[in-house]
Amino acid sequence: MAANNPSVFLLMVNGQIEEANFPEHDDLYCKYCFVYGHDWAPTSGLEEGISQISSKGRGSVQNIVWNFPLDITFKSTNPFGWPQIVVCVYGADTFGNDVVRGYGAVHIPLTPGRHKRTIPMFVPESTSRLQKFTSWLMGRRPEFTDPKVVAQGEGREVTRVRSQGFVTLSFNIVTKDMKKLGYDTSSTETLQPPSLVTEPTYTL
Amino acid sequence: MAELHIIGQIVGASGFPYGTLFCKWGVHTGGAWRLLCGLREGQTQVDSPQNGEMAFWSHPIDLHYTTKGLQGWPKLHLQVWNQDSFGRCQLVGYGYCHVPSSPGHHRLHCVTWKPLGSWQEQLAQTFVGGGPQLRTPDLIYSGADRYRLHTIAMGTVELELGVILRHFDRYGVET
């Protein structure tokens, strides 16, 4: 066994796509996929998924609940290209066409433990008024041909977007052999009081 | 050599008196630092929020540095721009923040400012937009020549950065 001298580290991701907050849309479903660098490879679990269609709660819960499981393990030799999860939310418009209601992406948390992330969701917008008019006329809205562009830093200066909702994800992270490879991901400082650590929720 | 990974996002900005915002960003380091992988500068998407006043960019950052010295720890400098309905862009804020030196996940709020200009310039600005900009943008992250400026407070840029250190303890560096 190479347990004493590891050359790869493992990142185990458990979690769920909990819920979404889209004030203007209902009956939505989501897709997810992971984007990672060259040194990374998934060892087990599903890389892509598609959720059920969910409606807003009628009672006190005004959010769209998916409760959709994520379960994947990655291996890598280098933290560069750390995996990101890309979430795309779709719903039907008044004519029954599937249109995108939001794209969003976030890095998988680096540190072991339980984490919650609220990610903003946005859709691309037409840049010219003519395109805006024709897309309104045809009922076809702009989309990304490859949703993975939202996890890339290059070429974004040309995209115009409109942000219109949030998706909440929770993660449980376990890493293996990162310390043995010399990587230091968690602070040795004393933990902050829980009131400072909790994620602020965005208000609309 | 010690290694530093910076992995995170420029989340977005709030508190600006304009709706449609984007951000030009860059990382400045000292001479001992070398970038192995990743983009050291870029520009975010242009977001006009549908509800609420916070513009979201979700712009990913993934950088891998090696270093021979601690001087010149990476700094992230930001320029926030507004795009108006005619497609014209005007600068609405400069800001910088140090990359945290302790490993782990950090949520940062970077305050921003912009040059004010003379009263004639301010008057012109209320009618036609625009406004003064820095001729040398390295003033954003250096404190040497700031005393000649008169600036006004602008909004806040929110960042989430994860920091991974490697082999710093091998050289006795305590973070």
Domain boundaries, chain B: 2-170
Amino acid at A99: V
As a whole number, the mean pLDDT across chain A is 88
Q: What distance in Å separates residue B12's CA from the closest CA in chain A? A: 9
CATH of A9-197, one of 3.20.20.10, 2.40.40.20, 2.60.40.150, 3.40.1440.10: 2.60.40.150
ipTM: 0.85
pLDDT of residue A189: 55
Tell me whether B46 touches chain A (CB under 8 Å). yes
State how far the Cα of A187 lies from the Cα of B102, in Å rounded to an integer.
Answer: 6
Q: Which of B59, B62, B63, B69 is nearest to B24 (CA)?
A: B59
Are B61 and B50 contacting, i.e. CB atoms less than 8 angstroms apart?
no
pLDDT of residue B28: 95
In this complex, do A160 and B48 lie within 8 Å of one another by their Cβ atoms?
A: yes
Q: What distance in Å separates residue B23's CA from the closest CA in chain A? A: 9
In this complex, do B105 and A111 lie within 8 Å of one another by their Cβ atoms?
A: yes
Alpha helices by DSSP H, listed for chain B, are: 119-128
CATH of B2-170, one of 2.60.40.150, 2.40.50.140, 2.40.50.320, 2.60.120.260: 2.60.40.150
As a whole number, the mean pLDDT across chain B is 92
B88 vs A187, more confident = B88
Taking one residue from A and the other from B, the number of pairs with CB-CB distance under 8 angstroms is 129
Nearest Cβ partner for B104 among A78, A82, A111: A111
Question: pLDDT digits over B13-46, tens only?
Answer: 999 998 899 999 999 999 999 999 999 999 999 9
pLDDT of residue A195: 47
Q: Residue range B71-75: average pLDDT? A: 93
Query: How far from B143 is each of A60, B25, B134, B155, CA to CA, in Å?
Result: 52, 18, 14, 20
pLDDT of residue B38: 94
Q: Residue range B72-91: average pLDDT? A: 92
pLDDT of residue A204: 57
pLDDT of residue A58: 85
In this complex, do A184 and B103 lie within 8 Å of one another by their Cβ atoms?
A: yes
Nearest Cβ partner for A163 among B38, B44, B50: B50
CA atoms within 13 A on the CB side of B77: 12
Question: pLDDT digits over A90-140, tens only?
Answer: 998 888 888 999 999 999 999 999 999 999 999 999 888 888 888 888 878
Q: Best residue in A167, A185, A188, A191 to probe B by mutation, most B CBs within 10 Å?
A: A185
Q: What percent of chain A has pLDDT over 90?
A: 68
Nearest Cβ partner for B50 among A119, A153, A162: A162
pLDDT-derived band at A161, boundaries 50, 70, 90: very high
> In chain A, what is the greatest distance between 2 CA atoms, to the nearest angstrom?
64
Model-wide pTM > 0.80: yes
Q: Which two tokens stand for residue A140?
A: 């076809």
> Where do the structural domains in chain A lie, given as residue ranges?
9-197
Q: Which two tokens stand for residue B26?
A: 């860059």
State how far the Cα of A118 lies from the Cα of A166, in Å rounded to an integer.
Answer: 6
Q: How many other C-beta atoms lie within 10 A of the C-beta of residue A99?
A: 16
pLDDT of residue B137: 85
Q: Residue range B83-94: average pLDDT? A: 90
Tell me whether A21 touches chain B (CB under 8 Å). no
